[in-house]
Amino acid sequence: MARKFFVGGNFKMNGSRASIKKIVEDLNDADLPSDVGMEVVIAPPALYIHCAKELLKNPEIKVSAQNAFPKPSGAYTGEIAAPQIKDAGADWVILGHSERRTINKESDDFVAEKTAHALENGLGVILCIGELLEERDTGMTLVVCNRQLDAVIDKVKDWSNIVIAYEPVWAIGTGLAATPEDAQSTHSEIRHYLAEKLGEDQASKIRILYGGSVNGKNAKSFNACPDIDGYLVGGASLKPEFIEIIKSRE
């Protein structure tokens, strides 16, 4: 069975009610592919999850949160719980993004704990993994990715509601991007590792997205890669070219 192509848009800490309304209305008006087995997910800041959900008219487009705390409620000022995310209308959550691993010092174990909790509460998880520039330069790409995966593998056995986003940190927001050949090679190695840990059947069904500065100009160049199942888009998801990226699969 072919894996369903997936395009995610991570708005990060950007946007206002007016700008997100415009993005959603543009998606509503776009002639998006409907018969090619595609899934589109947008991740606005938490304040605008409900707004985005209410404005969306295309049932094929889902909403994601950008983070979740691994407790259902409690005295955790400033955090957002998985049940609250569901209540606001979102179906997904992004976890393990490099900005949270580096800026917020989130450990592999903490990301894994959040992943298990989100899944238990009915959310799909976009699990981000990836290496820093110095790790890439010293040949540590797969060591880092496998370590990040191992933490989740220790806590989660059913990966049917996890989408992996391979995001080379050196390519996020820099304008740099791996070549399609390099990205495919890394994705293939990640899938091979998952097969060793989870079995061939489960690994063959897990979608692995590329998330290194994907834009309207380079998206099509990755489409022929058999282990690249879509994109997690950052800054370009705030621009009209996000629709170009979605339609690049046509």
Q: Quick one: pLDDT at residue 187?
A: 97
User: Strand 162-166 relative to strand 38-43: parallel, antiparallel, unpaired?
Assistant: unpaired
Percent of the chain with pLDDT over 70: 95
Of the candidates 210, 242, 233, 217, the residue with the CA atom closest to the CA atom of residue 12:
233
Band of pLDDT at residue 48, cut at 50, 70 and 90: very high
Q: Please tell me the number of Cα atoms within 13 Å of 37 on its side-chain side.
A: 8
Count other Cβ atoms within 10 Å, centred on residue 238. 20
Q: Quickly tell me which residue has 């990040």 as its tokens.
A: 148
Q: Quick one: pLDDT at residue 132?
A: 87
Element (DSSP H or E) covering residue 209: strand 208-210
Task: Tell me whether residue 106 is one of the annotated catalytic residues.
Answer: no
Is residue 142 pLDDT above 80, yes or no?
Answer: yes
Of 97, 106, 113, 241, catalytic: 97
Band of pLDDT at residue 34, cut at 50, 70 and 90: low
What does the pLDDT look like over 233-246, one tens digit per residue?
Answer: 999 999 999 999 99
71 vs 248: which has the higher pLDDT: 71
Rounded to two decimals, the pTM is 0.95
The answer to whether 212 and 173 have CB atoms below 8 angstroms apart is: no
Task: Tell me whether residue 181 is one of the annotated catalytic residues.
Answer: no
Separation of alpha carbons 27 and 3, rounded Å: 23
Go through the domains of the chain in sequence order and give each one's CATH number. Answer: 5-247 (3.20.20.70)
- CA-atom Rg of the chain in angstroms: 17
Band of pLDDT at residue 216, cut at 50, 70 and 90: confident
Is residue 147 pLDDT above 90, yes or no?
Answer: yes
Per-residue pLDDT, averaged over 188-196, amounts to 98
Of 39, 131, 135, 167, catalytic: 167
Give the lowest-confidence range in 42-51, 135-144, 189-198.
135-144
Decide: helix, strand or coil at residue 69.
strand
Separation of alpha carbons 52 and 42, rounded Å: 9
Q: Quick one: pLDDT at residue 5?
A: 93
Is residue 30 pLDDT above 60, yes or no?
Answer: yes
